[in-house]
Amino acid sequence: MAEKAKLYYFDGRGLMESIRWLLTVAGVEFEEVFLKTREQYEQLLKDGALMFQQVPLVEIDGMKLIQTRAILNYIAAKYNLYGKDLKERAMIDMYVEGIRDLMDLLIKHPFLPPAEKDSNTKLIQTKAVDRFFPVYEQALAQSGGGYLVGGQLSKADVQVFEVVLMVEEKLPSILSGFPQLQAFQSRMRNVPAIQKFLQPGSQRKAQPDDNYVKTVMEVLRF
């Protein structure tokens, strides 16, 4: 039996949540080490585990991987979630990089001053409705196979689904004008691994709270 992957990050979503999602869909078990103190972070630095002095860090297949995109690409390539050829991989990358722009707004939201949160939520809504969701709506309508690329599940589907759920947490009716995305969301919810991950008690993390923000800021000192 393969060793479990080991994830080093905070007890919250942040940059690690997409990795948790993809490992789950790939069927890879993982354990987590939650950074709660500055001393834990400094020990990782001292051990040379953080190439660019940053987390997330994932130990998998005898490697210590950092940089979120590199980690996601490795998992996707190994577990057949990265298309059948280079052309499909390029399309997957484009869809992922697009949704990443929206994800960045969501990840920074808990760290914003209270006075800026309403305007950031409006920006998320505008970009989702006017820029990003129409692209995925059209791609799903044209794909004919229920998934974004090549008629099979890929990391693009997983990350788009993840972000749509996060946007819905702030804007519950955001998909009202996007029937293809609504159908896509229903299909994704029926993927057995995702069904399990969405249940209470899974390794999926809740929305960031003040304690998560405080811990991140204290450990990283920003």
pLDDT tens column, 73-95: 999 999 999 999 999 999 999 99
Q: Which two tokens stand for residue 218?
A: 């204290």
Give the DSSP per-residue string, 62-84: TEEEESHHHHHHHHHHHTT-S-S
Band of pLDDT at residue 206, cut at 50, 70 and 90: very high
pLDDT (tens digit per residue) in 20-66 = 999 999 999 999 999 999 999 999 999 999 999 999 999 999 999 99
Would you say residue 146 has pLDDT above 90?
no
- Average pLDDT, stretch 164-177? 95
Return contacts of 151-156, CB within 8 angstroms, 24+ apart.
152/84, 153/25, 153/81, 153/191, 154/76, 154/81, 154/82, 154/83, 154/88, 154/92, 155/22, 155/72, 155/75, 155/76, 155/81, 155/82, 155/92, 155/96, 156/91, 156/92, 156/95, 156/96, 156/99
What mean pLDDT, rounded, does the chain reach?
Answer: 94
Of the chain, the percentage scoring pLDDT greater than 90 comes to 94
* pLDDT for residue 131 is more than 60: yes
pLDDT tier at 153 (50, 70, 90 boundaries)?
very high
H or E segment at 8?
A: strand 5-9
Nearest residue to 219 (alpha-carbon basis) of 90, 55, 36 = 36
Q: Which token pair is 115? A: 């006075």
- The model's pTM is 0.95
Looking at residue 143, its pLDDT comes to: 87
Residue 2: is its pLDDT beyond 80? no
